[in-house]
Amino acid sequence: MAKSIKIEKQSSKFIKPFVRTPQTLTHFKLGFIDEFSPDVNVGVVLFFSTNTHQTTNFIARLEKSLEKTLTRFYPLAGRLYVDKNATIDCNDHGAEFIHAKVNIKLQDFLVSEANVKFIDDFIPSKIGVVLQQSDPLLAVQVTTFECGGVAIGVNATHKIVDASTLSTLINEWSVTNRQENDNDNDNDNDNDNDNDNDNIFSGTNFISSLLFPPRGLCPMPVPPMNNDELNKYTRKKLSFSESVISNMKAKGSKVQLITAIIWKAFMDVDTAIHYHQRESMLIQAVNLRGKMTSLIPKTSCGNLFGTCTTECRTHEDVEELTDRLSDSVKKCITNFSKVHHDCEEGQTMVLNSLLSLTNIRESTCGVIVTSWCKFPFYQVDFGFGKPIWAAPGTIPINQSAYLMDDVQGNGVEAYVFLQVKDIPLFEEALKHVITMSF
């Protein structure tokens, strides 16, 4: 990019649910997975090549469709009680909606190798902690580019939102927006074109507290980072095409293969720093939807995940690590599939898997990899086409990575968060690991 990027906020407002939340639902309890989830935000930004300058009432339509979507996702329009009860006040204070403009063409931004540094600038409250009762639990930023193109960034508190919930929310919002487009096209001369069903409270799929009742857990500790601390870290984007993945010696799912490569690179960095190989532990999130005998629906909202821990105490190559990861995940999923969520065994199994995140010792090389592959972010369609790029927001956990499908669906894009001082070692280790993988 020849010129520096400058994003200017045009407007900001709070969008409230189209239908008020019933008094009987004004207090929403967090489940124990929600309780344990860290006090950070989960965000994603989707880039579209549409020419929004020719779209009448583009922003107003997005605002109206978000109103109707929030009726079904009403806890996200509330505010978090900062108390031991871990409760959301579903007061309909609304989600924040920001309209912004950026001084660059979308194509120029996408072709720049430096674009990953600016991803968080397209997501509201890019790295925040929900501490104040006045803070919104959901924020949206719609940024228009020069000469057409738009980025839609969505950010929500991890206290009630995981990646699946985020994907469900955005897809439902996009469907509602398409319906608004159709209504406008079909009723150009009708001043009252709201569907009667829009005026009916339609409930919610937030069931995490029903499935996994609260236990008074403390959130997973994440070291607070001010700007000075954040400047010590960076994020790298790694791209693996379908052809590259298929030509590697290790065979397995693309997620486990790329996870093994990243894990191996981090282990080699750790060995270079400490002058000997240390025990390593890799933790992956496991989506519980459809995994347990109760078959939790895929569209269920809230935090509905466990974790899978894989350990390595000896020198292993990528092929061996891929096999180790695959076996570990299969065993984990098999164990989850044998129990019902509401029996004590199922509750304890999920709880213990979460607590493994607190068991990473300082003497261990700990790595966290979260896969967002297969979540349908690239299927989002607000009525002006599907995204040409989707990228996750930063969660500031050292030696962590997020995996996403590429736009074709068969490759993988990995977003690795690490310390700036470790970049040379990581790049050298990664190059060696990839070379040895063919």
CB 392 within 8 A of CB 415: yes
pLDDT > 70? residue 238:
yes
Together in a domain, 178 and 266: no
Query: Residue 199 gets which letter from DSSP?
Result: G
Q: What percent of the chain has pLDDT over 70?
A: 91
Q: How confident is the model at residue 365 (pLDDT cuts 50, 70, 90)?
A: very high
Together in a domain, 96 and 47: yes
Over residues 177-191, the mean pLDDT reads 69
Over residues 349-354, the mean pLDDT reads 95
Residue 340 has a pLDDT of 85
- CATH number for 174: 3.30.559.10
Angle at 114 between CA 110 and CA 120, to 5 degrees: 80
Residue 180 has a pLDDT of 84
Together in a domain, 259 and 328: yes
Comparing 357 with 401, which gets the higher pLDDT?
401
pLDDT > 90? residue 341:
no
| Mean of pLDDT over the chain | 90
Strand 412-419 vs strand 400-405: parallel, antiparallel, or unpaired?
Answer: antiparallel
Together in a domain, 303 and 433: yes
Together in a domain, 251 and 293: yes
Total structural domains within the chain: 2
Q: How confident is the model at residue 134 (pLDDT cuts 50, 70, 90)?
A: confident
- Count helices and strands in the chain by DSSP H and E runs: 11, 15
pLDDT > 80? residue 185:
no
Together in a domain, 207 and 259: no
Q: How confident is the model at residue 137 (pLDDT cuts 50, 70, 90)?
A: very high
Residue 331 has a pLDDT of 96
- Indicate whether 269 belongs to any domain: yes
Together in a domain, 207 and 244: no
pLDDT > 90? residue 197:
no
pLDDT > 60? residue 124:
yes
Residue 424 has a pLDDT of 98
How many Å apart are CA 134 and CA 79, to the nearest integer? 7
Query: What does the chain come to in residues?
Result: 438
Q: How confident is the model at residue 54 (pLDDT cuts 50, 70, 90)?
A: low
Helix (H) or strand (E) holding 403: strand 400-405
- Indicate whether 386 belongs to any domain: no
Together in a domain, 207 and 254: no
Instruction: Pick the range with the lowest mean pLDDT from 28-42, 68-82, 181-195, 263-277.
Output: 181-195
Comparing 414 with 2, which gets the higher pLDDT?
414
pLDDT > 70? residue 193:
no
Domain that holds residue 309: 233-374+396-437
Buried b (16+ CB within 10 A) or exposed e, 31-47: bbbbbbbbbbbbbbbbb
- Indicate whether 163 belongs to any domain: yes
- Indicate whether 391 belongs to any domain: no
pLDDT > 70? residue 127:
no
- Indicate whether 71 belongs to any domain: yes
- Indicate whether 218 belongs to any domain: no
pLDDT > 60? residue 199:
no
Rounded to whole angstroms, what are the CA distances from 155 to 45, 139, 265? 9, 5, 30
What the block records as the tokens of 52 is 């929004």
Comparing 294 with 436, which gets the higher pLDDT?
436
Residue 80 has a pLDDT of 86
Residue 263 has a pLDDT of 98
Together in a domain, 178 and 245: no
Over residues 131-139, the mean pLDDT reads 84
pLDDT > 70? residue 204:
no
Closest by CA position to 399, among listed 275, 262, 261? 262
Together in a domain, 240 and 321: yes
pLDDT > 60? residue 87:
yes
- Indicate whether 353 belongs to any domain: yes
pLDDT > 70? residue 223:
yes
pLDDT > 70? residue 337:
yes
Q: How confident is the model at residue 362 (pLDDT cuts 50, 70, 90)?
A: confident
Together in a domain, 345 and 412: yes
Closest by CA position to 369, among listed 420, 416, 305? 416
Mapped onto helix, strand or coil, the DSSP state of residue 402 is: strand
CB 29 within 8 A of CB 87: yes
Tokens 């890019």 label which residue?
126
Over residues 370-396, the mean pLDDT reads 96
Q: What is the side-by-side strand order in the sheet with 280-287?
A: 233-240, 412-419, 400-405, 365-371, 280-287, 305-312
- Indicate whether 99 belongs to any domain: yes
Residue 176 has a pLDDT of 96
Together in a domain, 266 and 400: yes
